[in-house]
Amino acid sequence: MRPSRALCAIALLLSGCGFHLEGHTPLPPVLKATYVQAQDPRSDFVQSLRKAMLISGAHLTDDKPSATAIVSIGKDEVTRRVLSVSAANRPTEYEVTYTVQFSVEAGATTLLANQEVASTRSYSFDERLLLAKEHEEAVLREAMAKDLADIVMRRLARL
C-alpha cells in the first residue's frame, strides 16, 4: 500500500469512529447563530465558551432577536476556602471552586433547562511567595473555566 493510500485509509477509519480534533465539538444546526447572555461577558468561563463555540463553527451574534438560540449564563462564580492552616494559624492550602449555571433556549422552546457544573482544585499557599501564588490561582481559574466550557460544549453538542 502506498503512503497516500495508507493515510486515506486511516482518515476513513478515524472519521467512521466519530473522531474529531480536540476542541472541535460539532454543534447542532439550531446553535449556528447563538447569542451568549451573561452578567459578566469578560469572565474566564464566558471567554472560554465563546472561543470553543467559534472553533466549533457557531456564529456568535450580538443581536439577540436574530439569534437561533440563546445560551444564558445565570451563575458564573469562583469561591475560595481555606483547606489547611499552619501552627501559626496561617493558611497553607486553599481550595478554589468554579461554578457555572447555564440554560439554552431557541425561540419559546427550552432546549436545556438550568444546569450547574462545577470544578474544584486545591493549591498550597505560602505568604512569602504571595505574587507567585496569586498567579497560580489565576492560572487554575483559567484552566477550570476551560474545563467547564468543554463540559458545556459536550452538553450543547447532544441537543
Residue 20 pLDDT: 47
The two beta strands, 59-60 and 69-85, are: unpaired
Distance CA 25, CA 22 (A): 8
Largest CA distance in the chain: 70
Residue 159 pLDDT: 87
Residue 142 pLDDT: 96
Considering the chain, what is the average pLDDT of its residues?
Answer: 87
Residue with cell 436545556: 112
With a cut of 50, which residues of the chain have pLDDT below it? Answer: 1, 20
Helices (H), 79-129: none
The two beta strands, 69-85 and 33-38, are: parallel
Residue 137 pLDDT: 86
Residue 30 pLDDT: 93
Q: In the CATH scheme, what architecture does the domain 26-157 have?
A: 2-Layer Sandwich (3.30)
**Where are the domains positioned within the chain?**
26-157
